[in-house]
Amino acid sequence: MKIKAVHLYVMRIPLRTPFKTALRTVEAMENLVVTLETDEGALGYGEAPPTAVITGDTIPSIAGAIRDFLAPKLIGLEVERLDALHAALDAAMVHNTSAKAAVEIALYDLWGKRWNAPLYQLLGGAKRELETDLTISVNAPEEMARDAADAVKRGFRILKVKVGTDAALDLARLKAVREAAGPEAVLRVDANQGWTMREAVRLISAIEDAGLNPELVEQPVKADDIDGLRYVTSRVYTPILADESVFSPQDAANILSTRAADLVNIKLMKTGGLHGAMAIASIAEAFRAECMMGCMLEGNIAVTAAAHAAMARNVITRIDLDGPALCRENPVVGGASFTGSRIALPDAPGLGIERVEGLEPLRF
């Protein structure tokens, strides 16, 4: 099974409510979709969202990287030679992790189709239930309380609470969310780099003193401030999760070996796909740390790939794959299915995606 052609599309999906973090506000999902076509007529699906504030990517930058650098290296290569395919992608260009992830997800989809098995099985996993959290966007405390109550009603037990736009308001936001969600809800607090290291220690200590009991606090300080991250981690009781600070397996090794954070958030768009994600899972195992499998504003192609990876590795104990749950509709037929917070995967080969409706061919 050889790769014959690469096709690029845009997938547009309206969100239920605007997605707001300390870094950005997004009204609708608009992601690049790539399909790889083989000489036997099989199609592999991949996807990447343009997350300029985290990965530096835009739709044209992802599309250009694929069209001009990655696709030419793949045409004519055998699908089953994953090692050679990785080497080709890595040799083509540095960085550009979202473009590589989109292509690499499509390669793994084809690899699963080649061996006629679901991806999680080929990656060494067995079927287990995944329970995702749901993002509560950063807004006024009353609005966040309403969103939290709605999320609990929709069947979500774990909430990812976005803060970090205004340190003076963040404690009030968390109190309002805890009150609305109830004592049983699991709260994951994500500051998206919005605090200074001293602000973070003061706020997290206040959150602890107020009995708000968050499960963890994610990325309190700037992505490149590893000393600041370590400062916070060593001064609070609440576990600290590194997200924007960890792109590569090297980043994960550096952070875990120096105890700059307790856990790491793996996202395919930061690692450049499943190969890097699996490497981070192995590094976390070596340091006896646990991982979250997260996503950017990803639709059900990239999230399905992340769910397969999560199902394959027990060290991935926390799931933040709520992209499709934030959408008003799902144009992806097959792939991961959501029942409230529960994610199930089909037994079909590869990602298990049958088709994607409403794709617009990308012209640029």
Catalytic residue set = 162, 267
**How near is the Cβ of 306 to Mg ion at its closest, in Å?**
14
Residue range at the interface with Mg ion (CB under 5 A); choices 35-43, 49-57, 124-132, 239-247: 239-247
Closest Cα partner for 186 from 144, 215, 163?
Answer: 215
Task: For Mg ion, give the closer residue by CB, 96 or 192.
Answer: 192
Task: For Mg ion, give the closer residue by CB, 31 or 121.
Answer: 31
Among 109, 133, 170, 190, binds Mg ion (CB under 5 A): 190
Contacts of 46 (CB under 8 A, 6+ apart): 33, 34, 35, 36, 101, 102, 103, 104, 105, 106, 107, 109, 301, 302, 305
Q: Which residues pair with 29 in a beta bridge?
A: 13
**How near is the Cβ of 106 to Mg ion at its closest, in Å?**
25
- What is the C-alpha to C-alpha distance for residues 274 and 282, in angstroms, rounded to an integer? 12
Chain residue at closest Cβ approach to Mg ion: 243
**How near is the Cβ of 332 to Mg ion at its closest, in Å?**
23
Q: Tell me if 133 contacts Mg ion by CB under 5 A.
A: no
Contact 105, 35 (CB under 8 A): no
**How near is the Cβ of 219 to Mg ion at its closest, in Å?**
5
Q: Tell me if 298 contacts Mg ion by CB under 5 A.
A: no
Closest Cα partner for 216 from 244, 193, 239?
Answer: 239
Q: Tell me if 243 contacts Mg ion by CB under 5 A.
A: yes
Residue range at the interface with Mg ion (CB under 5 A); choices 25-33, 66-74, 104-112, 211-219: 211-219
3-state secondary structure 150-196: HHHHCCCCEEEEECCCCHHHHHHHHHHHHHHHCCCCEEEEECCCCCC
Residue range at the interface with Mg ion (CB under 5 A); choices 129-137, 242-250, 276-284, 285-293: 242-250
Burial of residue 136 (number of CB atoms within 10 Å: 0-12, 13-18, 19+): buried
Query: Which bin fits 34, alpha (ψ -120 to 50), beta or left (φ > 0)?
Result: beta
Phi, psi of 221 (to 5 degrees): -120, 175
Mapped onto helix, strand or coil, the DSSP state of residue 350 is strand
Residue range at the interface with Mg ion (CB under 5 A); choices 25-33, 99-107, 183-191, 323-331: 183-191
Residue type, 113: K
Local structure of residue 118 (DSSP, 8 states): B
**How near is the Cβ of 292 to Mg ion at its closest, in Å?**
9
Task: For Mg ion, give the closer residue by CB, 57 or 190.
Answer: 190
Closest Cα partner for 76 from 103, 36, 122?
Answer: 36
Angle (deg, nearest 10), helices 249-257 and 274-286: 20
Task: For Mg ion, give the closer residue by CB, 113 or 173.
Answer: 173
Residue range at the interface with Mg ion (CB under 5 A); choices 70-78, 104-112, 200-208, 212-220: 212-220
Task: For Mg ion, give the closer residue by CB, 104 or 218.
Answer: 218
**How near is the Cβ of 334 to Mg ion at its closest, in Å?**
28
**How near is the Cβ of 64 to Mg ion at its closest, in Å?**
27
Task: For Mg ion, give the closer residue by CB, 121 or 132.
Answer: 132
Task: For Mg ion, give the closer residue by CB, 119 or 269.
Answer: 269
Sites of contact with Mg ion (CB under 5 A): 190, 218, 243
